[in-house]
Amino acid sequence: MVRAEWAIFEEDYWAINNALKDLLKSSNSTSALLIDRTGQLIAHCGEELTFDVVSFASLCAADFEANYQLAKLIGEKDFSTLYHQGANESMYLSKIARDVVLVVLFDKRTTLGLVRLRVKRTVEELCAIINQLFDKLQYRNEEYDKLDESFTQEVESEIDSLFVD
C-alpha cells in the first residue's frame, strides 16, 4: 500500500516521537527517521541532519525497494532489515507495518548489536502505532493495492517510453 500523503493524529505523533526518542536513548544512536515506501518522511527524531532529508528519505525508500527485488530473485519474500556500515557513520533500516521503514543512523559510540536489539523492540511498538493509525483512518488495503498496480504499470510504461530510440 502506498499513501501519497499522511494524516497523523496528535496522540499518534507523540507515540511515534516517544518511541523514536526511547530508541535513540537506549541504543545511543544519533538519529531516527520514519519514512514510507514512496520516500516521504513521516517523522524524524534526534540530531539535526546536515544533508537534504527529503533526498535521503527517497534514497532509503529506493534502497529498500531495490533490496526487495533482490530478495525476490533469490527466492526470499523480502529482506526486513538492511545495514550499511561506513568508516564513521552507519545506518540500519528496518521494515515496519504497512510499508513503513525505520532508518536509524549511528556512529562509533554504539554497536550494531545494541542497535539491532533496540530496533527490534521499537519496530514492534511502531508497528502497533502505525496499524492503529491506519485503522483510525479506515484505510483499506484492497483500494490501494489496485492503485499500486495501475500506478506501477503506468510508471513502467512511461520509463520504457523514455528509452525508446
Query: What integer pLDDT is reported at residue 141 of this predicted model?
Result: 46
Task: Assess if residue 69 is contained within a domain.
Answer: yes
Collect all residues with Cβ–Cβ distance below 8 Å to 105 and sequence separation of at least 6. Answer: 29, 30, 31, 32, 33, 46, 89, 90, 91
Residue pLDDT, tens place only, 67-118: 989 999 999 988 889 999 999 999 999 999 868 999 999 999 999 999 999 9
Give CA–CA dist 132/129, Å, rounded. Answer: 5
Residue 2 lies in a domain: no
The band of 135, judged by pLDDT with boundaries at 50, 70 and 90, is confident
Asked, for residue 103, whether it belongs to a domain, the answer is yes
Give the pLDDT confidence score for residue 143 in this predicted structure.
52
pLDDT of residue 1: 41
Cell of 160: 520504457
User: Does 3 map to a domain?
Assistant: no
How many domains is the chain built from? 1
Q: What is the residue range of 154's domain?
A: 10-162
pLDDT at 131: 87
**Interatomic CA distance for residues 38 and 44, integer angstroms:** 16
Amino acid in position 28: N
Predicted local confidence at residue 2, as pLDDT: 46
In a domain, 1, yes or no: no
Q: Is 42 left (phi over 0), alpha (psi -120 to 50) or beta?
A: alpha
